[in-house]
Structure 1
Amino acid sequence: MKHFIVLACCLISAISAFSQEEKVQDSIAVSTETLDEILVTAVRVQATSPITHSNVDKATLAKRNLGQDLPILLNYLPSVVTTSDAGAGIGYTGIRVRGVSAQSTNVTINGIPYNDAESLGTFWVNLGDIVSSVESLQLQRGVGTSTNGSGAFGASINVLTDAVSNEASAEISNSFGSFNTRKHNAKFSTGLLNNHIEIAGRLSVIKSDGYVDRASTDLKSYFLQAAYVDDNTLIKAVVFGGHENTYQSWNGIDKETLKDDRTYNSAGIYTDDDGNTQFYDNEVDDYQQDHYQLHWNERYNNNWSTNLGLNYTKGSGYFEQYKEDESFADYGLNNVTIGSTTLETTDIIRRRWLDNDFYVINANVNFKNDHVNAFFGGSYSTYDGDHFGEIIWSKYASNSEIRDHYYDGNGKKKDLSVFAKATYRLNTQWSLFGDLQLRFVDYKTSGIDSDLTPLNIDEQYSFFNPKAGITYELNTNNNMYFSYARANREPNRDDFQNNPDIKPEQLNDFELGWRHEKQRFKFNANVYYMQYNEQLVLSGSIDDVGNPIRTNSGESYRLGLEIESAIGISKAFSIQPNVTFSTNKNKSVYGSFDGVLQDYGSTNISFSPDIVMGNAIVYQPNTALQISLLSKFVGEQFMGNTDSETSKLDSYFVNDLNITYEFKMESIFKSIILSGVVNNILNEKYVSNGYYYTYDDTWSNANSVTTIEGAGYYPQATTNFLVGATLKF
């Protein structure tokens, strides 16, 4: 019944807004696009574009920026579902949009691709406290507009980091909360020196013990930019990155443990010589990632502008594991003979390393006048990543030597894309949008993988991604749009490891929307139909290091209705509900069960709930105080693609309370901002993510095959809090 209650609240809110809405004459504000915004205009869309999107600004993020990762702060946007391995929203966190996994969500930072070139995933844990350096972001749902890097296959997130500040400033922020969580950062800006030069930076530390046992997080990060600006030129050098050390919590727990001990973590478990259960204290993921960007924006006149972006990203790190009774042969080692006894196994501590370099160059030209806004550009990137493993300790060393690699592999990827897109205003009511992109991918691997199996990939892909749309402005308060977009996307490294014959996926996305806006009421509604061919859906299973395993699903589709609004009940009180109703189907699924090939027919796509709702009830009597009650409902979903009851995740309804208050000061500080959030105030014991697996049991009955099903769960934190203070100078 919970989702019906949330829906009723949304509908009542909308009806109330219509009854209380005042008729006012809207004014049209004309603003000059800043040079900072030119960094991302090529990958973002305007408010009236025929692309479904949401914008989030710095002020909105700051209200809840107390240490949790960026995906968690986007949780209340339409069609968004988030999760956290450690349960508290810090460390390894994930985001799904319209049921689409993170591997299919394109992320750019200042127009530079952030998705890992090989895994296609985004690891926000490597950029601790990046939220504190975000000026704005845009979340596009569906294929969206052409972007740099791997194609958006269900959503894209375009991040713009801190803009150039005219005034000098400094601030210190500290926050503390449940699970021994604490965040400390310091920021500064020199303001414009001699009206042209600004230097700004940030240092941050975030630590947490995590909700799950031992799922600790230690994040250190930095952000530094130097900028030169005049009326028509912006040159920005931006350096940012971080070091993360997180205790592993990707194993999940089974259903019985979820009932009895939902914070249990099996990572690092072993048995000592006395037969006692122990947990290895350094079962961690340890990774350093640094980004070096140089941007040159030039505005030649009111019509022409250009942007050139250069990037180098260096990543290096490992995860460490204690493994019991490992076969010497699995590590290319000889058995050990002691006297008359031959040992075939040993306890070891291993590290699996990733050491990579990523180079990007982006360039685009923008022409605009009263009728046309056109972009031409392209992006080229090259990636070189080494994968190797080390045994750093062994109970029996065999013929291993210090710093020996028990496997070595390499991946190289080149990605070239060119695009041309334009919005053409036919008249005061009609405008057309067109977008053509060509993308060429060359991916090669060599060596052996962690299973000591040769991995030799040599694939080249050529993708053509056309997009078109039309917007009709009925009046100053209403516009309607329709768009079509095609996307193609290559498999990732793990896909090839699990299936050498894996195929690229293709999506045809149709969007039909209506936007209504008046002074105290905004309403957006859109219908989407996403038609897939060989969609790489999550199978439900994970590999031995927690990575999701994907598989081609033949023909599939997602059909949905998204509604969002912002309703001003009074000057101090507003409601911001959103809801997504969808059906997400594989058209035909076959699989083996109990040794027999089964035709499952049409099934639900994994991790794709039919209902996702959000709401924000905001009370702001003045500019200093804001109190928000944030609610999220996620309907039940399957973790596999056969509609097995074993794979079902229950629905959940979670509420957070957020309070901020700003004291304006006349001496020492400009202001002091106190903020706090109580997450999950109703103490819901919920699970937002998990995995599903099957295996054939042939031991119980030699004459038949019995398929065993199982599931793992990642429990999320019960009621917890964070409080913080920011001192602004």
Structure 2
Amino acid sequence: MKIIFTLALFCLLGGMSAYAQSDSIKHLDEIVIYQANKATPVSFLNLGKTAIQAKNIGQEPSFLLSETPAITVYSDAGSQQGYSYYRLRGIDQTRINTTLDGMPLNEPEDQGAYFSNYPDILNSISRVQIQRGTGTSQNGVASYAGSVQLFSPDLTDSAGFTLGAGYGSYNSLRAFGEYKSGLKKHGAMYLRASQVYTDGYKENAFNNSRSLFASGGLFYDKSIWKLNIMAGHQRNGMAWLPVADSLISINRKTNANTKAEKDAFFQGLAQLQHQWHPSMHASIISSIYYTYLKGGYGFDGNNFIGLPSNGELFHYNFRSHFVGLFSNYTLTHTHNKWTTGIHGNWYTRQHKGVDDVAGELYRNSGYKQELSAFSKLEYYLGGFTFYTDLQYRYAGFQYRGSVPLERLEWHFLNPRAGISYAVSKQASIYYSIGRTGREPTRNDIFGGNDDLVADSLLKPLIYNKDPEFVVDQELGARIRGNRGALQLNAYYMRFKNEIVLNGQIGPNGLVLTDNVKSSFRTGMEVSASYQLSRSFSLVNNSSWNYSKITEQTGAFKPVLTPALIINQEIIYQRQRFLAGISGRYQSSSYIDFANMGLIRDYTLFNARIQYTFPQYVVTLFINNLSNARYYNNGALAADGSMSYFVQAPANVYVAFKYTF
């Protein structure tokens, strides 16, 4: 690890000598390391700033991601602010790699990426790339189902100041201010502050949060320095328990959590990036980052087990530090592009359990380290692009608490290869195959316990420490014409020792899992846009999935994996006026491992109307036009009773933006 830190620090500082030199490099474009391009043989979708800002109202990014192929979403509170979760190809987000400018956003212990701790984050994102399948090598947790790459503000954008505000159903509001200096001489800066609030659709499911994003850069002929600082503070009324159908029939806004159960978290990060061009053909990009988290939430144990609440809470408290760095070297020539990189990080989180009556009951700490290296090559021959990518990744976990646990270690060798062929300037086809492995989360290892427990022999009770593996094959085509574009792909994912949901929730609010020996997921995905006329355009993002888990007792469908998802939008735009209506159909899916509990299929319709003045933009959003009563997650109790996460009926939101 010491060698990695020394090398990356050298790369960060090495570019300083380039300031005094002059050469023919006058404009430095961003060098893409992890992002796929049109010749890369992987399945991906890009979302640009215009597409993001058109629908961004301060909601959780999960809802915007759900408009892309193969992604499902649900919200604890039933509304679009507060905790929400998404799944890609039916696989949960702890197995989806999430980064900001290459910096891991997933928490290493539980491997989740919590957008709620960075409210209104989409307001400061210049673009997003979603890779489906094993994709390209990424920093941080395994790209098991795919990856979501966020990119910080483009500091070379035009100078300006923007004020925004919005208000809608359930007392939902957002206010923000954004400043961009533009590039002046060698420097540029960006600053954004936001406040988001909602009562939530469910009772006592409020969200009150604020955030800050600051970015600054220095631009020279051969070198760029960039610093990102992001911080968020949020408080929520907890709503992570599904509600029994018998209670929903009486009051759909019922919250199964008590009013006293709340959380509060602060999370902040800092990232220093450096890009250096020692020559016309070579570039080095390096980054050092740090994340700090502190907070906790209350848990009503009596309410959880079905007893009357006496108002006494158990408190889960956390504090973590996460520091890391990466460095990548790229060499580009006419017929090839070679990139090699290293990444290392160190993470620690303190866990503390405190009872209102008994006081502190336990205190423990988890330590996790990660080290990875990759090398990838793209070779261009005629219309062909040959692609190979090999990554080594090491992860180690150590626990210090009342029950001793030997250090756990995992080693992964993740190969990827593929080929694409440009049939014409407008069309290409590709095929790729990749294998990756992933270690279990702390929650998987401890079986939902925040403090490790011992068995009857006083040995640590470990539920699962074995990794899971997937071999992913992708076959696709990309076509772009004067009036539209089409991306179509088929995939086949074969798993070994897959860690899947069993439909139960642990006392810490995290879902519980089991291992299955054999399973697969296969399907097709399409992303298409077409300009019908000067005013009308169509956008479609849909997917079909067929998946199966094979056990000794039979075959089952994976939890929360609908077979068919259709997102269709039609947009009318004429001069400064825009109107759009979108529909989403999601077929039924199971909520328990044995396939006894079913979530019915549903159809949603949403609309937006926008008018743009010279300096103003006013937008009206109408969600769930048909007032559909639907669920998209739930649980099955031991007695066979069903409980669900109710999502909001028809609701509206008005957004206003002023730029000067």
- The normalised TM-score by structure 2 is 0.91
Q: Is the 8 A contact 2:27 2:221 kept in 1?
A: no
In 2: Cα distance, 1:304 partner to 1:513 partner? 31
Deviation at 1:551, TM superposition (A): 1.3
1:333 match? none
**Which of 558, 561, 564 is residue 608 of structure 1 equivalent to?**
561
2:273 match? 295
Q: Is the 8 A contact 1:67 1:90 kept in 2?
A: yes
In 2: Cα distance, 1:480 partner to 1:347 partner? 61
In 2: Cα distance, 1:515 partner to 1:638 partner? 33
Larger Rg: 1
2:371 is equivalent to residue 412 of structure 1: no
Q: Residue by residue, what CA displacement relative to the aligned partner does 1:438-491 show, whole Å, maximum 9, x if unpaired?
A: 00111111215xxxxx37352111100000000011111211100001010000
In 2: Cα distance, 1:511 partner to 1:59 partner? 29
Flag the 1:179–1:384 CA change in 2: closer, same or farther, 3 A. Answer: same
2:25 is equivalent to residue 71 of structure 1: no
Secondary structure in 2 aligned to 1:44?
Answer: coil
In 1: Cα distance, 2:171 partner to 2:296 partner? 25
In 2: Cα distance, 1:445 partner to 1:375 partner? 36
1:380 match? 344
Deviation at 1:198, TM superposition (A): 1.4
1:208 match? 198
Amino acid of the structure 2 residue aligned with 1:720: N
2:573 is equivalent to residue 620 of structure 1: yes
The residue correspondences of 1:182-261 to structure 2 (distance < 5 A) are: 182-193=173-184, 195-261=185-251
In 2: Cα distance, 1:656 partner to 1:489 partner? 37
**Which of 643, 652, 660 is residue 721 of structure 1 equivalent to?**
652
2:418 match? 469
Q: Residue by residue, what CA displacement relative to the aligned partner does 1:217-247 show, whole Å, maximum 9, x if unpaired?
A: 0011001112111233210111101001000
Q: Is the 8 A contact 1:321 1:350 kept in 2?
A: yes
Secondary structure in 2 aligned to 1:491?
Answer: coil
1:181 match? 172
The residue correspondences of 1:69-218 to structure 2 (distance < 5 A) are: 69-193=60-184, 195-218=185-208
CA RMSD of aligned residues (A): 1.9
Secondary structure in 2 aligned to 1:441?
Answer: strand
2:37 is equivalent to residue 46 of structure 1: yes
Amino acid of the structure 2 residue aligned with 1:490: E
The residue correspondences of 1:432-471 to structure 2 (distance < 5 A) are: 432-448=386-402, 454=403, 456=405, 458-471=407-420
Deviation at 1:87, TM superposition (A): 0.7
In 1: Cα distance, 2:502 partner to 2:644 partner? 15
Deviation at 1:693, TM superposition (A): 4.0
Deviation at 1:405, TM superposition (A): 2.4
1:692 match? 636
Secondary structure in 1 aligned to 2:561?
Answer: coil
Q: Is the 8 A contact 1:435 1:466 kept in 2?
A: yes
Secondary structure in 1 aligned to 2:446?
Answer: helix
Amino acid of the structure 1 residue aligned with 2:262: V
In 2: Cα distance, 1:510 partner to 1:166 partner? 39
2:21 match? none
Q: Is the 8 A contact 2:304 2:507 kept in 1?
A: no
Q: Residue by residue, what CA displacement relative to the aligned partner does 1:337-362 show, whole Å, maximum 9, x if unpaired?
A: xxxxxxxx986333211100000101
In 2: Cα distance, 1:477 partner to 1:563 partner? 17
Deviation at 1:82, TM superposition (A): 1.1
In 2: Cα distance, 1:290 partner to 1:84 partner? 23
Note the residue ranges of structure 2 that are not aligned, 5 or more in a row: 1-24, 448-461
Secondary structure in 1 aligned to 2:595?
Answer: coil
Q: Is the 8 A contact 1:76 1:631 kept in 2?
A: no
Amino acid of the structure 2 residue aligned with 1:641: F
Flag the 1:407–1:728 CA change in 2: closer, same or farther, 3 A. Answer: same
Amino acid of the structure 1 residue aligned with 2:563: D
Amino acid of the structure 2 residue aligned with 1:481: Y
**Which of 602, 608, 622 is residue 652 of structure 1 equivalent to?**
602
1:336 match? none
Flag the 1:718–1:35 CA change in 2: closer, same or farther, 3 A. Answer: farther
In 1: Cα distance, 2:432 partner to 2:589 partner? 28
Secondary structure in 2 aligned to 1:62?
Answer: helix
Secondary structure in 2 aligned to 1:46?
Answer: coil
Deviation at 1:192, TM superposition (A): 2.3
1:493 match? 442
In 2: Cα distance, 1:36 partner to 1:709 partner? 58
Q: Is the 8 A contact 1:35 1:297 kept in 2?
A: no
Secondary structure in 2 aligned to 1:125?
Answer: helix
2:354 match? 390
Deviation at 1:37, TM superposition (A): 3.3
Deviation at 1:501, TM superposition (A): 3.4
Note the residue ranges of structure 1 that are not aligned, 5 or more in a row: 1-31, 269-278, 328-344, 395-399, 449-453, 591-598, 665-670, 695-707
In 2: Cα distance, 1:33 partner to 1:80 partner? 41
2:5 match? none
2:30 is equivalent to residue 37 of structure 1: yes
Deviates more, 1:545-554 or 1:459-468: 545-554
Q: Residue by residue, what CA displacement relative to the aligned partner does 1:605-627 show, whole Å, maximum 9, x if unpaired?
A: 111111111111111223x3322
In 2: Cα distance, 1:581 partner to 1:539 partner? 23
Q: Is the 8 A contact 1:315 1:357 kept in 2?
A: yes
In 2: Cα distance, 1:324 partner to 1:642 partner? 28
Q: Is the 8 A contact 1:540 1:693 kept in 2?
A: no
Amino acid of the structure 2 residue aligned with 1:633: Y
Aligned residues: 619
1:711 match? 642
Flag the 1:266–1:44 CA change in 2: closer, same or farther, 3 A. Answer: same
2:500 is equivalent to residue 532 of structure 1: no
2:252 is equivalent to residue 262 of structure 1: yes
Amino acid of the structure 2 residue aligned with 1:247: G
In 2: Cα distance, 1:222 partner to 1:112 partner? 18
2:328 is equivalent to residue 312 of structure 1: no
Q: Is the 8 A contact 2:446 2:464 kept in 1?
A: no
Secondary structure in 2 aligned to 1:535?
Answer: strand
Amino acid of the structure 2 residue aligned with 1:615: Q
2:512 is equivalent to residue 512 of structure 1: no
**Which of 618, 621, 625 is residue 674 of structure 1 equivalent to?**
618
Q: Is the 8 A contact 1:308 1:363 kept in 2?
A: yes
In 2: Cα distance, 1:457 partner to 1:487 partner? 25
- The normalised TM-score by structure 1 is 0.82
In 2: Cα distance, 1:615 partner to 1:587 partner? 34
2:8 match? none
Secondary structure in 2 aligned to 1:296?
Answer: strand
2:511 match? 548
Q: Is the 8 A contact 2:440 2:464 kept in 1?
A: no
Q: Is the 8 A contact 2:58 2:123 kept in 1?
A: no
Amino acid of the structure 2 residue aligned with 1:434: T
Secondary structure in 2 aligned to 1:236?
Answer: strand
In 2: Cα distance, 1:636 partner to 1:207 partner? 32
2:593 match? 641
Amino acid of the structure 2 residue aligned with 1:561: M
In 1: Cα distance, 2:330 partner to 2:61 partner? 30
Deviation at 1:173, TM superposition (A): 0.4
1:422 match? 377
In 1: Cα distance, 2:364 partner to 2:175 partner? 39
Q: Residue by residue, what CA displacement relative to the aligned partner does 1:514-535 show, whole Å, maximum 9, x if unpaired?
A: 1111111212211100000011
In 2: Cα distance, 1:471 partner to 1:77 partner? 23
In 2: Cα distance, 1:97 partner to 1:226 partner? 33
The sequence identity of aligned pairs, in percent, is: 26
